[in-house]
Amino acid sequence: MDDLLGDVLDPIINNPLMKLSTRLCVLFLVVFWAALVFWTWRDASRRGAMPWFWALVGIMFPLAGWMIYMVVRPPEYADDAHERELEIRAREAELLREGQTCPSCQKPIEPDYLICPSCMKKLRKECVNCNRALKLDWAVCPYCKTKQ
């Protein structure tokens, strides 16, 4: 029976076109494997995610390593995260330059507000003599020298 199967498959397996197709498929798989390893290494280095480790995982476990990396990789590039942090810091500095913000709700407030118009938190107290806005912990009004 094995001889009969060998006789049937032998012309197909030894066909020069079949050998060429097999070699081209193997070449494609090798190039695809190398491209996956390179892409994984490059993407991991841009995301700050241990590029040599993930390249090694991609070499040892070609398709499974790449799929695992795709699941656990950082969601954004390291440059994008750094840029976002810089934008947040710049916006915070701009808010501090432009004016004060409520310590409770972080909405912009004027320096002479007694309460926050958004969250109703008490920000300052009113002087009993000159009616100017004073900090809550001040015992004397710096404008009219009146004890509070």
pTM of model > 0.85: no
The more confidently predicted of residues 95 and 146 is: 146
Q: What residues contact 128, with CB distance under 8 A and at least 6 apart?
A: 141, 146, 148
Q: How many degrees, rounded to 5, is the angle at CA 101 between CA 105 and CA 95?
A: 120
Q: Where are the domains of the chain?
A: 2-78, 103-148
Give, in order, the Cα–Cα distances in Å from 126 to each of 70, 85, 98, 102.
Answer: 59, 39, 24, 17
Other CB atoms within a 10 A radius of the CB of residue 36 amount to: 19
User: Quick check: 95 pLDDT over 80?
Assistant: no
Rounded Cα distance, 29 and 24, in Å:
9
Average pLDDT rounded to a whole number, residues 88-101: 81
Greatest mean pLDDT range, 9-23, 24-38, 115-129: 24-38
pLDDT of residue 117: 92
